A and B are shown apart, each in its own frame.
Chain A
Amino acid sequence: MATIFNANDIYLHFGGVKALDGFSIELEEKTITAIIGPNGAGKTTFFNVAGGIYPPDKGEIYFKGERIDCLRPDQICLKGLTRTFQIARELGEMTVWENIMLAPKKQLGERISGSLFKWGAVKNQEKTNWQKIESLLNDMGLYDERNELAKNLSAGKRKMLEISRAIMTEPELLMLDEPTAGATMNETKAIMEAIERLREEKGITFLVVEHKMEVIMNLCNPIYVMYYGRNLANGDPETIQNDQRVLEVYLGG
């Protein structure tokens, strides 16, 4: 299998805080990789660096062989790397369908000239996009809420909305920051199934930050453990579960 993404020796300091202190990770194509670690280990910071929100102080990030650590978030997304956020950030005053219809890349109607002068083409593109979204919403169990304002959704549905929106950017690598946080048991199961299905059907590579052990151990392989901005261990679920250092970090022993 080929490597799709790798980050080498990433450093990022906020004042005196070493949020990332030489973290490295390598993702194989079509795998679901997890990053775990105690609170404050730097998982979300790493997502923000990989997504282009903070440039790293030191270190290099490559995606499909191209260096991306100097790009803006929108440029990184256009290359095929989409990330979601830990606290579901929906576009609250917009409806569910508008939230998702925002995502498809390079829409004709996003240009002023296209919007004003290419009526037919814009309309057709909107229809095609909506057809894709319609079936996605059905799969995600959001179809009935399509005309609802996003701020009125439950926490689990917001997570679903965020994942659906990310999928509509047609990413090759999808980075999910706690995709099941705040979701009920059933919603968690549905989200896990969706991730597995997308990997199989669309060949999307996943990088998941998660706290729920049942999600990680059943879904993800390999697993990276992060501790104070550094790599602590990595390997398959079996290895991680039996790693003495990981147990110490998690059990505080």
Chain B
Amino acid sequence: MEIFSWILTIATIVAIYSIMGLALNIHFGYTNLPNFGIAGFFAVGAYASAILTAPHRFRQMEIFAGFAGGMPGRFEYPFIIGLIAAIVFAAIVAFLIGVPLLRLREDYLAVASIGVAEAIHYVALNELWLTTGSAGIRLIPMPTGNRYLYFLIVLFVLAVVFWITQRFYRTPVGRVWRGVREDEVITASLGKSIFSARMWAWVVGCAMMGAAGSLWAHYAMAIQPGEFVPTTTFLVWIFVIVGGLRNNWGILLGAVLIIGFFEQGTRFLPAFGAPYIMPAIRHITVGLLLILIIRFRPEGAIPERAARIEAHI
């Protein structure tokens, strides 16, 4: 039973990361928006959901101090409200940030987005009235209270996100996005507004990252600012590149491979030698795999496949 529970843990984390990977595919794979601020939108979603569903922070203290039930909760809305709020808030933040950010060229956009994510991290760390700072938010309810059922909820959200990303690829909206990726001047000369195409791709992708944040908060049941650091962003980038940028199946494969096997799967292997040798080996392996893929198969494990018109119509 222990091994089964362990696999369930990994599968849930892989599914949540996959959602972020698919969102990054909309940003970078479809539209050529190098978003290095994934952790930021992940955090917005996680905090929005946590603040709206967790008990009031004073009450949290009371519960820990042993006299629960003193003060009323602030919101304590159900999970579904938290999830919707996470999506909406991530989209709003993305829109507001996108107005100045999306006017930048790709390389500057990459630098600016990592800065945005760090700014969000510091808001979470310092705005105590909202986020309780480094103490984080605890007692976030897990819907259904059962990890097996919760995994099904995560899987359902992943399926919806996957379906949407695939649908966008096949319909005109994805064609415009990929047109922007290939050549902005041409796409503009064909009557497509570049800014609005970039903005829609940006907002939709960030909203998905927000949904992933909400799912994470309710799974971990406690969040704190230290989790939303650039490492999360880089992990998503690594498995998206390894699995196959621009191909949604490749991204699922990359998530299973990198997050499942290397990041999580090796976590509980018996330690040998010096105590910190296993985590170090883990990071070295992931880095090595990334270098090998970029050197020998830059399109990733499963590359983009040209769609045939006969299959489309």
Q: What residue of chain B has the Cβ atom nearest to residue A110's Cβ?
A: B172
B173/A127 in contact, CB under 8 A: no
Q: What residue of chain B has the Cβ atom nearest to residue A95's Cβ?
A: B306
User: Which range holds the interface residue count of chain B?
Assistant: 20 to 34
B304/A126 in contact, CB under 8 A: no
CA distance in complex: A116, B309 (Å): 20
We find that the number of chain A residues with CB closer than 8 angstroms to chain B is 41
CA distance in complex: A102, B189 (Å): 11
Q: What residue of chain A has the Cβ atom nearest to residue B312's Cβ?
A: A126
Q: Kindly list chain A residues whose C-beta atoms are within 8 Å of the C-beta of B188.
A: 72-74, 77
B175/A77 in contact, CB under 8 A: no
Q: How far is the CB of B94 from chain A (nearest CB, A)?
A: 14
Of residues 107 through 124 on chain A, the ones whose CB sits less than 8 Å from some CB of chain B are: 107-112, 114-116, 122
Q: Does A147 contact B (CB under 8 A)?
A: yes
Q: Kindly list chain B residues whose C-beta atoms are within 8 Å of the C-beta of A147.
A: 306, 308-310
Q: Kindly list chain B residues whose C-beta atoms are within 8 Å of the C-beta of A103.
A: 190-191
A82/B167 in contact, CB under 8 A: no
A105/B191 in contact, CB under 8 A: yes
Q: Which of B164, B173, B179, B192 contacts A94 (CB 8 A)?
A: B179
CA distance in complex: A94, B174 (Å): 11
CA distance in complex: A146, B175 (Å): 16
> Binary interface profile of A, 65-99, with partner B (CB < 8 Å = 1, else 0)?
00000001110011000110100010111110110
Q: Kindly list chain A residues whose C-beta atoms are within 8 Å of the C-beta of B310.
A: 147
Q: Does A130 contact B (CB under 8 A)?
A: yes
B189/A77 in contact, CB under 8 A: yes
Q: Does B117 contact A (CB under 8 A)?
A: no
Q: Kindly list chain A residues whose C-beta atoms are within 8 Å of the C-beta of B190.
A: 74, 77, 82, 102-103, 165-166, 169
CA distance in complex: A24, B75 (Å): 67
Q: Which of A77, A93, A107, A122 contacts B178 (CB 8 A)?
A: A93
Q: Does A51 contact B (CB under 8 A)?
A: yes
CA distance in complex: A126, B187 (Å): 18
CA distance in complex: A130, B172 (Å): 12
Q: What residue of chain B has the Cβ atom nearest to residue A148's Cβ?
A: B306
Q: Does A190 contact B (CB under 8 A)?
A: no
CA distance in complex: A101, B176 (Å): 10
Q: What residue of chain A has the Cβ atom nearest to residue B190's Cβ?
A: A103
Q: Kindly list chain A residues whose C-beta atoms are within 8 Å of the C-beta of B189.
A: 51, 73-74, 77, 82-83, 85
CA distance in complex: A110, B177 (Å): 9
Q: Does B200 contact A (CB under 8 A)?
A: yes
B307/A98 in contact, CB under 8 A: yes
Q: Which of A77, A101, A114, A126 contacts B191 (CB 8 A)?
A: A77
Q: Kindly list chain B residues whose C-beta atoms are within 8 Å of the C-beta of A98.
A: 175, 178, 307
CA distance in complex: A103, B193 (Å): 12
CA distance in complex: A26, B135 (Å): 71
CA distance in complex: A61, B188 (Å): 19
B168/A115 in contact, CB under 8 A: yes
B307/A95 in contact, CB under 8 A: yes
Q: What residue of chain B has the Cβ atom nearest to residue A131's Cβ?
A: B313
CA distance in complex: A179, B141 (Å): 64
Q: How far is the CB of A163 from chain B (nearest CB, A)?
A: 13
CA distance in complex: A115, B171 (Å): 6
Q: What residue of chain A has the Cβ atom nearest to residue B173's Cβ?
A: A115
Q: Does A219 contact B (CB under 8 A)?
A: no
The 3 closest A-B CB pairs, nearest first, are A77-B191, A109-B172, A91-B182
Extra A-B contacts (5), CB below 8 Å, given A74-B194, A127-B313, A147-B306: A77-B189, A91-B182, A101-B172, A169-B190, A169-B191
Residues of A near any B CB (own CB < 8 A) = 51, 53, 72-74, 77-78, 82-83, 85, 89, 91-95, 97-98, 101-103, 105, 107-112, 114-116, 122, 126-127, 130, 146-147, 149, 165-166, 169
Residues of B near any A CB (own CB < 8 A) = 164, 167-168, 171-176, 178-179, 181-183, 185-194, 200, 204, 304, 306-310, 312-313
A-B contact pairs, 5 of them (CB 8 A): A73-B185, A77-B189, A102-B187, A126-B313, A165-B190
